[in-house]
Chain A
Amino acid sequence: MFRRTKRSAKKSVVPNQSFSEKLEENVSFFTNLYEQSTDVVFHSVSIGNRQATIIYIEGLTDTQKLDEQVLNILLAEAEFNEENFLQSVENRIPVSNMKKIATYVEGIDEISNGNPILLVDGEKQALSFGIAKFEMRSIAEPEAEMAIRGPREGFTESIGVNTSLLRRIIKDPALKMKNLQIGKYTKTKVVISYIDGLADPGLIKEIEDRLNRIKIDGVLESGYIEQFIEDNPYSPFPQMLFTERPDVVSGNLLEGRAAIFIDGTPFCLIAPVSFFSLFQSQEDYYDRFWVGTFVRSLRFLFLGISLFLPAIYVAVTTFHQEMIPTNLMLSIASSREAVPFPAIIEVIIMEIAFEALREAGIRLPKQVGSAVSIVGALVIGQAAVQAGIVSAPMIIVVSITGIASFLVPRYSMGLTVRLLRFPIILLGGAIGLIGVMLAFILIIIHLSSLRSFGLPYLGPISTLRKPVFQDTLVRSPLWKMDYRPHLTGKYNPRRQKENLKPGPKHHSE
């Protein structure tokens, strides 16, 4: 009962009706609405012989511009055309982005976005001035995605800046930006960006539909959006890519993918992605292709290590001692002699301690964080072995595993790998290498059944769709990547002129 009354009281529906002609009514509507909001400023002026009110929110509006370009003109010039009052005001005021609005809803939107609105007595319309301005972080190098070679710009929290960064890279008018608003209270601006002609229209429609389905209170970060629009919400694998680098976004748009910008976060979502695109880093393309290929194969190797090495160690030392060469077996056995725990307990203790250390290091301020990691490394690395709690080979395994999971260029994928390691260790400890193998097959089956916006997750390798190896396990030379990856639906294959291989003989032409 109580709950019901509360809900109905909260339902203060904003009427979708037009302004009234009387200034009093309009102003009282807004004063009621913004009751107990001291940051909303109501400023009454008289223009000629008419009463008017300007409403804006402090801190969201450039008050200097408001004073100089709006109020100055309004107060100085006494003669506005009485017949067509608003039009004549609009003509005189030196602000480029002005809008006539007719309803309360529009008025609230404009005010919340920082555009002051001018209500004039006797007019059924109001004017809004596009002079919003708020404090924001300047463009800086993205901290989560460092690069040695490549642009040093990163997105900021302001969506306008982000889209402009993209527009500065892709200048063709085919770059489209679609606007949406999500969040009942935050009213967050969300922009779907794609290149017309490269992206499949069906994909854009699907993204739009999924975004429109979201009805939540607020969107605080791209993760909110991601979790509402992914294909398989129970999967541990990320089905979208997030980045704060404009060059990464541009590269993906040029391959026919779509980007989703969210106001208030420097992270931009990219969809659809495949398993292999989570292992691509922008620098693969900026460096020589040999390096790119080498680094990429290193990543896949270490993905395997980071997922399976602890489990294999447990399985082999517990069940399959005969697989280890005798010398190694002896050294492992002698170091394990004093250890009171079975291998699986040892691994789990160490892995959990390592994860805890890592988590502590991330959340703490930098100065304290380094202290934690030094103490942790000393305690784990040195003391635990000397005390005979864990064996030395185990330390090696755990630390290699830890380093290996940092090799994944996309953070979300790294998290997945960290998470999946534990069930695999348990399986390996239960039924040995058979368990590890079963875990591998299970992961492959799961990945095969995943889709990201219709794109098979393990494609193009598992679907054998051409070009298969161009940009997956290896990074082929740029002049050989004549075709875009085939995503879903309509496909625009050619990305460059064929036969672009450079060489001295081309210069004579």
Chain B
Amino acid sequence: MLEKGKISTLQMQFIIIPTIIATGILSIPSMAAQLAVHDMWMTPIAGSIIGFITVFLVWKLHELFPRMTPIQYNEKILGKILGSMLSFFLIFFYLHNTGLIVRQYTDFITMNVLTETPELIFSLSIMVVSALAVRGGIEVIARSAVICTTIFMLSSLSLLLLIKDMDVSLLLPIMENGITPVLKGGFVFGAWYSELFLLAFIFPFLNREKISVKPGILATIYIMLIFFYVNFLCLLYLG
């Protein structure tokens, strides 16, 4: 089944942002806090460098091989055998990755919310829902992403209702141990920012011929801001 849908760059941003932040905001703050302690609010900014590099690479590759997915241009770059091997690796990497994400989601629910329900129910149900979206094609994914992301973002504003509990003094002293812990904490983000490589799979389905690097960079900035917002509030509320 070949995908024929076309989406706009704005929709692309709406797809890629929740892809990265959804699992990121659950697990990164604690990891970053271990490494960077009270400087963790800076880590998303440090980590975003990886994101910018990824977006730039992906964009350059797409400039060289317009209207092609990585699977298609792998063979052109590396030749038939090596290219297919890399493609296989990529595909299985993302399959594996998807499995991990489903597992994270399931664990999150069974540990925190519904402790007695079998895990399989949650994995299966979320996979059925996702499969339905995939069956609808990239346009359906894009449209539902726009709506779900908007609602999710709006609900995350409710964190601001706790503003009276904010303790700004927790930020001090800034960069107590130099910049190294911040960079280390930023490195944690690398795993999530590098998911921006998924843009390479979306670029061929954009509805415009000439794609600039701007929407990708903007998406990275938005992701950075959201991570920053979450980490900052985590630090100020929880210490």
Which of the candidate stretches A17-25, A128-136, A394-402, A461-469 sits at the interface with the other chain? A461-469
**Could you say which of A43-51, A381-389, A444-452 contacts chain B?**
A444-452
A438 located at the interface, meaning its Cβ lies under 8 Å from any Cβ of chain B in the complex: yes
A408: interface (CB < 8 Å): no
Check if B90 is an interface residue, CB within 8 A of chain A. Answer: no
Tell me if B114 and A442 are in contact (CB < 8 A): no
Pairwise interchain contact B114-A456, C-beta atoms closer than 8 A: no
Does residue B60 face the partner (Cβ distance < 8 Å to A)? no
Chain A proximity of B113: nearest CB distance (Å):
7
Pick out which of these stretches binds chain A: B20-28, B144-152, B188-196, B211-219. B144-152
Residues of A contacting B126 in the complex (Cβ-Cβ under 8 angstroms): 438
Which of the candidate stretches B65-73, B96-104, B128-136, B157-165 sits at the interface with the other chain?
A: B128-136
Question: B140 is contacted by which of A320, A434, A435, A449 (Cβ under 8 Å)?
Answer: A449
Q: Determine whether the beta carbon of B122 is less than 8 Å from that of A431.
A: yes
* B133 & A445 in contact (Cβ 8 Å cutoff): yes
- How many Å from the CB of B28 to the closest CB on chain A? 23
Q: Which of A433, A448, A449 has the most CB of B within 10 A?
A: A448
The answer to whether the Cβ of B180 comes within 8 Å of any Cβ in the partner chain is: no
* Majority secondary structure, B binding face: helix
Question: Closest residue of chain B to A439, judged by CB?
Answer: B129
A143 and B8 alpha carbons, distance in the complex (Å): 43
Do residues A441 and B144 form an inter-chain contact, with CB atoms below 8 A?
yes
- Chain A residues positioned under 8 Å from B147 (CB to CB): 444, 448, 458, 461-462
Residues on the B chain within 8 Å of A319, using CB: 113-114
The answer to whether A431 touches B144 (Cβ under 8 A) is no
Choose from B109, B139, B143, B148 the contact partner of A434 (Cβ within 8 Å). Answer: B109
B residues near A462, Cβ cutoff 8 Å = 142-144, 146-147
Q: Is the CB of A431 within 8 A of B143?
A: no
| A319 to B129 CA separation, bound complex (whole angstroms) | 22
Interface size in chain A (residues, C-beta < 8 A): 22
Residues of A within 8 A of B109 (CB): 434
Determine if B144 and A434 form an interchain contact, defined as CB atoms under 8 angstroms apart: no
Q: Is B117 on the interface with A (CB-CB < 8 A)?
A: yes
- Cα(A380)–Cα(B10), bound, Å: 50
Please give the number of chain B residues whose Cβ is less than 8 angstroms from any Cβ of chain A in the complex.
26
What is the bound-complex CA distance between A432 and B141, given in angstroms?
Answer: 25
Minimum Cβ distance to chain B for residue A360 (Å): 37
Q: Which residues of A contact B114 (CB under 8 A)?
A: 319, 431-432, 434
State in angstroms the CA–CA spacing of A444 and B150 once bound together: 12
Contact (Cβ within 8 A) B132 A448 = no
Q: Which residues of A contact B8 (CB under 8 A)?
A: 463-464
Q: Which residues of A contact B133 (CB under 8 A)?
A: 445, 448
Across the interface, name the chain A residue whose C-beta is closest to B116: A319
The answer to whether B11 and A431 touch across the interface, beta carbons within 8 angstroms, is: no
- Assembly CA distance A431 to B126 (angstroms): 12
Q: Find the B residue at minimum CB distance from A449.
A: B136
Beyond the given A444-B147, A444-B148, A445-B140, please list 4 additional residue pairs across the A-B interface where CB-CB is below 8 A: A320-B113, A445-B136, A446-B132, A464-B10
Closest 8 interchain pairs by CB? A462-B143, A448-B143, A449-B136, A448-B144, A448-B140, A449-B140, A444-B144, A462-B146
Q: Which residue numbers of A lie inside 8 Å of B, CB to CB?
A: 319-320, 431-435, 438, 441-442, 444-449, 456, 458, 461-464
Sample of 27 A–B contacts (CB below 8 Å): A431-B121, A432-B114, A433-B113, A434-B109, A434-B125, A438-B129, A442-B129, A442-B132, A444-B148, A445-B129, A445-B140, A447-B144, A448-B136, A448-B140, A448-B141, A448-B143, A449-B136, A449-B140, A456-B143, A458-B143, A461-B146, A461-B147, A462-B142, A463-B143, A463-B146, A464-B8, A464-B14
